[in-house]
């Protein structure tokens, strides 16, 4: 399964981002989507697992969208929270955060949990616009990487 990971879109989905999301099995958004219409647009590409960011309000997205999103998919436990410091790595196999607009992928040394911040496709704070992609098969992470979204292909 292909999970495309985004965060901090802040009300703008670029053509480059939308093109890259085509073919995703699930889109995971780590908050600060800031647009109910963008939430609906992403849902037309693939099912969306969304948590609220510090600039989001639950009444825009429905009662199922909360500050922390925990779900099970591809045999793995996922936790999504906008703020890294609010993640509980004992609850999951894969943890996704946002907020800093700075991408990284790492393994937590204490728990072995895969931790990713996809950066921001809209307002990057280091490097260029970015997103993440995680491929999972049979309860294992096959690959996890950051994808640069420079407008030139």
44-to-4, 24, 89, 135 alpha-carbon distances in Å? 14, 11, 31, 20
**49 close to 61: Cβ distance less than 8 angstroms:** no
* Dist. CA 134–CA 146, nearest whole Å: 9
Tokens 């009300």 found at: 11
User: In terms of Cα–Cα distance, which of 145, 149, 123 is closest to 34?
Assistant: 123
- Which pLDDT tens digit goes with each residue over 121-146? 999 998 899 999 999 999 999 999 99
Q: What is the pLDDT of residues 49-85, one digit of tens each?
A: 999 999 998 888 988 899 999 999 999 999 999 999 9
Cβ atoms of 89 and 108 closer than 8 Å: yes
């Amino acid at each position: 399964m292909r999970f495309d990971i985004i965060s901090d879109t802040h009300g703008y989905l670029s053509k480059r981002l939308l093109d890259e999301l085509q073919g995703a099995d699930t889109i995971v958004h780590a908050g600060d989507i800031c647009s109910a219409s963008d939430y609906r647009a992403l849902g037309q590409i693939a099912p969306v697992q969304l948590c609220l960011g510090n600039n989001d309000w639950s009444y825009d997205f429905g009662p199922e969208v909360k500050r922390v999103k925990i779900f099970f998919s591809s045999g793995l436990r996922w936790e999504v929270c906008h703020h890294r410091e609010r993640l509980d790595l004992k609850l999951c196999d894969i943890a996704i955060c946002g907020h800093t607009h700075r991408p990284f992928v790492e393994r937590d040394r204490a728990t072995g949990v895969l931790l990713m911040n996809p950066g921001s496709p809209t307002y990057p704070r280091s490097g260029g616009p970015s997103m993440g992609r995680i491929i999972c098969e049979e309860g294992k992470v096959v690959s996890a990487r950051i994808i640069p979204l420079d407008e030139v292909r």
